[in-house]
């Protein structure tokens, strides 16, 4: 019993008490250790002209600073300014200023201002939304004098310089930002330097900064230089500007040459900017491109390739080391892809070493070494394959062949491994399939087409659709009418009677003109019968004069209408059954009255 309890206790102790505690996310931890950004205090604008006094045509900076996050400031597209002032936004930046336990955001917006006439000009106060609240930007005054003087203070500006102004798409160019020393040769450094320009890539890894004593703008003294590499991605005119905050602290490595006094104390963050600089970017020519172009622009040399061994067996791997060299830096070189061959399996290259920078008389040269892994699939080769490579030389304006040459080697004729044989067969099959060649001529002219223009684009085709449309519409209408008459046969009977009556009346007109009294009587009676027939369930021939008179009112029956009808029916009876002939002229004289009667009857048929 005691042993059982021991086991039970041991088991209970050995049971896991829950899931292991989760490791905190390092990124989240890092974020939590950062001091918070202050966004709670009241936003206040500080406005100034730098310098406050300028000469006509000289540039001043209208600088607006606010203690808020840049994204929260809804700055207007245009600001009201006196007509004599030209105002153009030149830079906008944000910096986080360390405060007690927090970071204070400071947003600065710079405008370049030039004046056309001397005077004192004020940009009045205006409202801007910050964090959704209206905040007043105070007014600022600029004094403009007619002539420049050495005593006038000058605005501190950045100066932008490009090493080349005509380059090709993808060709890196050096850009330098200068900040000359101020009064007493005291130099300031820059923080958060930005190179602004549409369609350019700024290589942040190539940034270098130094303080150097040199002549600049007719004055020798220390100067802060920020250097970066930019690569244009689109052709055309590209305008660059630079901006950065003055800060008397260093970010990143810096080289100091010569004597320089650096301002100490708490940092003063002032956003400075430069005038734009322009480069003309040409597209790479599409002609003359050679095999193996991977976007390399510049002047490159390829060292003779080195092999890890020059004696291998089929199926063994060997490495081919290729070193590319160029003047300057070689950061963005894509090595040429390996060619597809049947007797070699070649793997894409990997960086073996570099880039290695070397100081030369002409500056800096760099080299990078790639290694290609090769597997011989047969023993029929005496050298490694050539690997096509070419670069675009901007100085010559053309593509230059720099194919990686072959290297001699010996391949043992030993038995290839099954895997190597399979690879060789697959590569050969792929090459057979992939090898395209021009097909021969067609021998027969085939059925000819009227035009290359598709039917869908021809108006005649769409007009042709009217035919079936009209056909189907006609059929549908006909069917509708037919169904109507089936539902209302009396309409059809009346319609037919009207048609027959019109025929008889035309005949009546003819016989009256021919003075044929005998036919006049028979046609008249027939017309009367046809006009009355739809009102009786009988055929027209079965109707007699009384039937016709039934359709008229009592007064008409006893009046002239009745007389005319009776006379005509009597004349017809006499014509059929009596030897005595009626008075033809009298009967013909009844035509106007008969027409009136027939009009009345036709009206009843409608």
Interface residues toward another protein, by CB under 8 A = 234-237, 283, 285-287, 289, 436-449, 451-457, 461, 465, 468, 472, 475-476, 478-479
Q: Which is nearer to another protein, 180 or 292 (CB)?
A: 292
Q: Which helix or strand (DSSP H or E) is residue 62 part of?
A: strand 59-66
Q: Are 225 and 213 in contact (CB under 8 A)?
A: no
The dihedral built from the CA positions of residue 245, 249, 251 and 252, taken in this order, carries a sign that is positive
Q: Shortest Cβ distance from residue 372 to another protein (Å)?
A: 23
Q: Shortest Cβ distance from residue 72 to another protein (Å)?
A: 36
Q: Are 49 and 113 in contact (CB under 8 A)?
A: yes
Q: Are 407 and 374 in contact (CB under 8 A)?
A: no
CB-side neighbour CA atoms (13 Å) of 465: 6
Phi-psi domain of 288 (left: phi exceeds 0; alpha: psi -120 through 50; beta: other): left
Q: Shortest Cβ distance from residue 232 to another protein (Å)?
A: 13
Q: Which is nearer to another protein, 28 or 436 (CB)?
A: 436
Q: Which is nearer to another protein, 14 or 441 (CB)?
A: 441
Q: Looking at beta carbons, which pairs linking 357-362 to residues 24 or more positions away fall under 8 Å?
A: 357/329, 360/327, 362/327
Q: Shortest Cβ distance from residue 495 to another protein (Å)?
A: 22
Q: Shortest Cβ distance from residue 461 to another protein (Å)?
A: 6
Instruction: Determine the Cα–Cα distance for residues 450 and 458; give it in Å rounded to an integer.
Output: 12
Q: Which is nearer to another protein, 412 or 479 (CB)?
A: 479
Please give the DSSP secondary-structure letter assigned to residue 404: B
Q: Shortest Cβ distance from residue 586 to another protein (Å)?
A: 53
Q: Which is nearer to another protein, 437 or 606 (CB)?
A: 437
Q: Shortest Cβ distance from residue 450 to another protein (Å)?
A: 8
Q: Which is nearer to another protein, 204 or 448 (CB)?
A: 448
Q: Are 299 and 410 in contact (CB under 8 A)?
A: no
Instruction: Determine the Cα–Cα distance for residues 379 and 221; give it in Å rounded to an integer.
Output: 69
User: If DSSP states are collapsed to H, E and C, what string results for 184-219?
Assistant: HHEECEEEEEEEECCCEEEEEEEEEEEEEEEEECCE
Q: Which helix or strand (DSSP H or E) is residue 460 part of?
A: helix 459-464
Residue from 319, 327, 328, 326 nearest 349 by CA: 319
Q: Which is nearer to another protein, 9 or 453 (CB)?
A: 453
Q: Shortest Cβ distance from residue 526 to another protein (Å)?
A: 37
Q: Degrees (nearest 5) of the Cα angle 151, 155, 161?
A: 120
Instruction: Determine the Cα–Cα distance for residues 156 and 272; give it in Å rounded to an integer.
Output: 7
Q: Shortest Cβ distance from residue 404 to another protein (Å)?
A: 20
The dihedral built from the CA positions of residue 534, 540, 543 and 544, taken in this order, carries a sign that is positive
Q: Which is nearer to another protein, 115 or 281 (CB)?
A: 281
Q: Shortest Cβ distance from residue 391 to another protein (Å)?
A: 17
């Amino acid at each position: 019993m005691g042993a059982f309890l021991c086991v039970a206790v041991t088991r209970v102790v050995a049971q896991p008490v829950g899931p292991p505690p989760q490791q905190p996310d390092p990124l989240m931890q890092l974020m939590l250790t950062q001091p918070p950004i202050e966004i709670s205090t009241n936003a206040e604008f500080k406005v100034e002209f730098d310098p406050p006094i300028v000469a006509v045509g000289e540039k001043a900076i209208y600088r607006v600073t606010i203690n808020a996050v840049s994204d929260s400031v809804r700055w207007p597209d245009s600001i009201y300014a006196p007509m004599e002032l030209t105002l153009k936004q030149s830079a906008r930046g944000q910096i986080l200023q360390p405060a007690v336990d927090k970071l204070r955001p400071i947003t600065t917006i710079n405008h370049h201002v030039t004046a056309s006439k001397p005077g004192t000009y004020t940009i009045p106060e205006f409202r801007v939304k910050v964090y959704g609240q209206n905040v007043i930007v105070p007014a600022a005054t600029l004094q403009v004098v007619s002539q420049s003087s050495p005593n006038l203070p000058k605005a501190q500006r950045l100066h932008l310089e490009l090493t080349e102004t005509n380059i090709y798409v993808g060709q890196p160019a050096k850009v330098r930002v200068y900040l000359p020393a101020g009064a007493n040769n005291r130099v300031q450094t820059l923080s958060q330097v930005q190179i602004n320009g549409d369609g350019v890539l700024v290589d942040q890894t190539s940034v270098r900064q130094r303080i150097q004593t040199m002549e600049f703008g007719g004055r020798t003294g220390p100067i802060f230089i920020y250097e970066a590499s930019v690569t244009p991605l689109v052709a055309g005119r590209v305008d660059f500007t630079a901006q950065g905050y003055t800060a008397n602290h260093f970010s990143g490595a810096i080289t100091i040459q010569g004597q320089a006094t650096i301002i100490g104390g708490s940092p003063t963050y002032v956003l400075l900017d430069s005038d734009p600089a322009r480069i003309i970017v040409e597209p790479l020519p599409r002609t003359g491109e050679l095999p193996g172009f991977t976007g390399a622009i510049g002047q490159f040399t390829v060292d003779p390739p080195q092999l890890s061994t020059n004696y291998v067996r089929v199926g063994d791997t060997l490495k081919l080391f290729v070193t590319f060299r160029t003047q300057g830096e070689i950061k963005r070189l894509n090595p040429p892809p390996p060619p597809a061959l049947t007797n070699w399996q070649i793997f894409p290259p990997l960086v073996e070493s570099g880039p290695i920078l070397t100081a030369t008389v002409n500056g800096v040269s760099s080299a990078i070494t790639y290694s290609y892994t090769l597997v011989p699939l047969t023993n029929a080769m005496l050298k490694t394959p050539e690997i096509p490579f070419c670069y675009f030389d901007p100085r010559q304006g053309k593509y230059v062949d720099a194919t990686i040459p072959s290297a001699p080697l010996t391949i043992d004729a030993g038995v290839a491994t099954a895997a190597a044989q399979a690879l060789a067969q697959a590569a050969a099959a792929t090459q057979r399939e992939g090898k395209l060649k021009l097909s021969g001529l067609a021998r027969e002219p085939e059925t000819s087409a009227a035009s290359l223009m598709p039917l869908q684009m021809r108006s005649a085709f769409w007009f042709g659709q009217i035919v079936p449309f009209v056909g189907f519409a006609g059929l549908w209408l006909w069917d509708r009418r037919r169904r109507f008459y089936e539902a209302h046969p009396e309409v059809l009977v009346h319609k037919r009677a009207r048609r027959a009556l019109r025929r008889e009346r035309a005949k009546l007109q003819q016989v009256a003109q021919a003075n044929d009294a005998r036919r006049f009587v028979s046609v008249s009676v027939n017309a009367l019968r046809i006009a009355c027939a739809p009102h009786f369930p009988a055929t027209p021939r079965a109707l007699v004069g009384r039937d016709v008179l039934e359709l008229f009112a009592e007064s008409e029956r006893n009046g002239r209408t009745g007389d005319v009808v009776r006379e005509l029916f009597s004349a017809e009876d006499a014509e059929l059954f009596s030897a005595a002939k009626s008075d033809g002229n009298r009967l013909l004289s009844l035509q106007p009255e008969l027409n009136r009667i027939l009009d009345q009857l036709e009206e009843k048929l409608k």
